[in-house]
Amino acid sequence: MFCEICGERKAVETIGMEGMELRVCPACTRFGTPVAEQKAPVRKDPVEFHEPDILPDYAERIRDALRKRGLSVRVLAEKLSERASTLEKVEKGKMLPDRKLAKKLEKFLGIVITGSVEAPGRLHRGLPEATLGDIAEVRVKK
Ligand SMILES: [Zn+2]
């Protein structure tokens, strides 16, 4: 890039002069005031691995599933090759299962304990269906 003042072939600075911005060589920066280089947009960190959101009622779901299957935490621990003490804490809601364990529990118990916290609500949030009553009411108002 050429210096916009003297034409030198190495414009490396941007200066402000009389309201304009000029690319100039180092020698010509004295003709204006340095303009801060436009900062490159802050690069976002690469997507980091995030633990899945564990549903707030994960412990309840696990307990329910165990009860329905008549399983004890100890048996579950054996089946999943996990420590019973770990599973006890998870089942009591004292410890969040890590991703691996959560997935194991979901698969083995046939339950869902991970996912967006909002997801379950979304299922019920369909478009409101107009009922005959609503329509009648609208007509009455008109
Ligand atoms: Zn120059």
**Residue whose structure tokens are 């801060």:** 36
Q: What fold does the segment set 58-119 form as a domain? A: 434 Repressor (Amino-terminal Domain) (1.10.260)
Banded model confidence at residue 1, pLDDT cuts 50, 70, 90: confident
- 127 C-alpha vs ligand 1 centroid, how far in Å? 65
pTM: 0.47
- 24 C-alpha vs ligand 1 centroid, how far in Å? 5
What are the residue ranges spanned by the domains of the chain? Answer: 1-36, 58-119
Q: pLDDT digits over 114-134, tens only?
A: 985 444 444 444 445 555 555
Q: pLDDT digits over 34-70, tens only?
A: 886 555 666 555 554 455 588 989 999 999 999 999 9
- 1 C-alpha vs ligand 1 centroid, how far in Å? 11
* Ion ligand 1 residue ranges (Cβ < 5 Å): 3, 5-6, 8, 24-25, 28
Do residues 106 and 52 touch, judged by C-beta distance below 8 A?
A: no
